[in-house]
Structure 1
Amino acid sequence: VRDRLTAPLQLATINYLLSRDESALSGLLRLRRGQVSAVVSERYAPFDVEQLVDTVRLALAHHGALGEVRVRAVATGMTDVLRLTFPSEAVAVKPGDISHVGLDISSSSFGRSAVHIRSMIWRLVCTNGLRMPEKSGSFSFRHVGESERLSDGIQEAIPAALAHARGTMGRWRRAVTVMVDRVAELVDDMRELTGVERGRVRDELRLAHGAAELLERTDAYNLVNALTAAAHDAEPARRLELETFAGRVLRQQVGA
């Protein structure tokens, strides 16, 4: 309902459904820019973007990382996303090719969304991002119960997610030495991508090798970078999906 109807129609639909239920239910209207964005239950724990930023700041200060962090990107809307990196943990994967460990932190104060914290790698030369898909490197907290529970969870999750990001950096460095064969077939089989996105990956691989034709052998580092480069032209939500897919490919090619 939330994704398909305008706010007034959403509200009318929910009111109709509630009126058909014999039990008396209380609800909460969530507003954004003067519009109804969601109808939530009394168990819902509000946690707006201002609270999120304050909580992240406190957590970074507590762990001595506030002076090291840099905000690389912000996206706002139904979901708010912060991309943070830590230049103090820079690694030269190749000469002059620097990457930082980082975190993606997202939250929505509407509907059934949650606070998500995910480890990532930020490649400085092209501002490509690489997100980890595995559960061990991401943490989620539903908007249920008390807001203090969300705050406590975020403060505990940030150092753990950073530790996983450092592990990902190790895989990222190993990707330079891992060779991938039958590249054209591999890209063609990436059904997670659209035809346009697969074309962009091929273009990036040709550019990486300075070749007019797509080579049948490359290293995992070039392959994953081509995937993250394809995410640049996408809108924010799709970009995060593509960067997560790139993280999955890194893990498949390099291993744990």
Structure 2
Amino acid sequence: MRSGRSLTSLAQELERQLQSKKDLIVPSALVRHTTDERGRTGLVVEEDGGPVDYGVTPLARRQLADKLRIPYAYFERMREDQPALLDRNVNTWLQSEDDRRMLRTLDGQVRAVLSDRYRRLDNFDLAESVLPILQQLPEVHFESVELTETRMYLKCITPRLRYEMAPGDVVQAGVVISNSEVGQGTLSVQPLLYRLVCRNGLIAADRSLRKTHVGRALGGEDEAVTVYQDDTLRADDRAFFLKVRDVVQAAVSDATFRQAAQKLQKTLAIPLVGDPVKTVEVLAQRYTLNDTERAGVLRSLVANGELSGYGLVNAVTHYSQEVEDYDRATEFEMLGGRLIDLSAHEWKGLAEAA
């Protein structure tokens, strides 16, 4: 499992962000786009006290292009080669739009351009609500926590629940809670299998809690910019976070853990009878792995020497430890969970690849 930061570091950064972030509900006509000669983009928002300049993160830039239906490749070409043309395009479309958008800002940067119906489930409030719940789990250990530009992750293990895959090969139960404040996914609570022998983490494809970020439209019908303070956001979300307790307990229940562990154990009986190189090529094609990732999974499979479905699952989850990007590493842990849910026909295409 990819390592992250400490709980103390996470708490400090969440506290810092709480003081620095601000949400705006903005009529498009009150927003102006700027690009300097170096290709750095900004948004000028006409707030009550006058115009305020914000930088724009790469993610928010992509979301803005999508909102205005400008192909992102063309958006980037204009930004790099014709910044004045980009500003004319963006501002023309902004002024012609009769809608409102949520701009989520942090440290003076617009980090997300979202619908005014976007349901904010913020990381500080989530952590404040669920950390006490997680800390009540028997012998809980926070194996990996992280706060990336797009998501927060809490991955913890409870060693009391154990299952032996084979003699000396033990997995423990855990849970993963993740959330995005910037429109990059739902709030989710999912079971986790943690393999002791190699510190692999597998996130089971359980959809017991998938809270989407869609709600009623925010702000009024006037043409002003509405600023939402953090105390308003916390009050809005607290009622929902109270529901998370039961879902966390279900995710680390004996029944849920054994069901996932037994699915993983069944892959021991799936021999890879084809060419391992071709098997990984088929895997890469199915799940859109790039060449570096494909080579890394193959290297893990060969090094482990377990030419079975179980070996392939563990090659995928083990490779996550080599991936620098934490979000992408977590996707490999989730891919392991998808593999144990494959049908016999789907496994056949992998196991017999030649």
- Band the TM-score falls in, shorter-chain normalisation: 0.7 to 0.9
2:317 alignment partner, one of 203, 222, 228: 228
Q: CA deviation at 1:165?
A: 3.8
Unaligned runs of 5+ in 1: 210-216
The TM-score, its normalising length taken from structure 2, stands at 0.57
**The one of 110, 119, 125 aligned to 2:191:** 119
Contact 1:112 1:142 survives alignment (8 Å):
no
Q: After TM superposition, give the deviation of residue 166 of structure 1 in Å.
A: 3.3
Q: What amino acid maps onto 1:225 in structure 2?
A: N
Q: Secondary structure at the match of 1:110?
A: coil
1:203-218 alignment to 2 at 5 Å? Answer: 203-209=299-305, 218=307
Cα distance in 2 for residues equivalent to 1:122 and 1:53: 22
Q: Give the match for residue 124 of structure 2.
A: 50
2:157–2:175 Cα contact (<8 Å) kept: yes
Q: Could you tell me which runs of 5 or more consecutive residues in structure 2 were left unpaired when the two chains were aligned.
A: 1-39, 43-54, 68-89, 216-235, 347-354
Kindly indicate whether residue 231 of structure 2 is the aligned counterpart of residue 139 of structure 1: no
Distance in 2 (alpha carbons) for counterparts of 1:18 and 1:112: 23
Q: CA offset at residue 139 of structure 1? A: 2.2
Match 1:188 to one of 274, 278, 281 = 281
Where 1:230 maps in the other structure, the secondary structure is: helix
Equivalents in 2 of 1:143, 1:137: separation in Å? Answer: 16
Deviations 1:77-122 (A, max 9, x none): 2211111111111223233322112122111222464312222211
SS at match of 1:93: strand
Q: What's the CA shift string for 1:119-177, capped at 9, x where partnerless?
A: 221112221111223xx445211234541343134223223333434311121233333
Pair 1:88–1:60, CA change in 2 (3 A): same
Q: For 2:121, what is the secondary structure of its paired residue?
A: coil
- Return the alpha-carbon distance in structure 2 between the equivalents of residues 208 and 42 of structure 1: 49
Q: Distance in 1 between matches of 2:302 and 2:120?
A: 48
Does the aligned pair in 2 maintain the 1:89–1:101 contact within 8 Å?
yes
Q: Is the 8 A contact 1:56 1:155 kept in 2?
A: yes
Distance change in 2, residues 1:20/1:228 (3 Å): same
1:47 match: secondary structure: coil
2:337 aligned with 1:241: no
1:143 aligns to what SS in structure 2? coil
1:55 Cα deviation (Å)? 1.8
The match for 1:109 is 181
AA aligned opposite 1:237: D
**Do the aligned residues in 2 keep the contact of 1:46 with 1:147 (CA within 8 Å)?**
yes
Inter-CA distance 20–121: structure 2 relative to 1 (3 Å threshold): same
**TM-score scaled to structure 1, two decimals?**
0.76
Distance in 2 between residues matched to 1:218 and 1:128, nearest whole Å: 17
The whole-number CA distance in structure 2 between the counterparts of 1:179 and 1:112 is 37
Q: 1:95 to 1:50 in 2, by over 3 A?
A: same
Q: 1:67 to 1:89 in 2, by over 3 A?
A: closer
Identity %: 26
Task: Decide whether the 8 Å contact of 1:30 with 1:110 is kept in 2.
Answer: yes
- 2:134 equivalent to 1:38: no
In 1, are the aligned partners of 2:162 and 2:170 still within 8 Å (CA)? Answer: yes
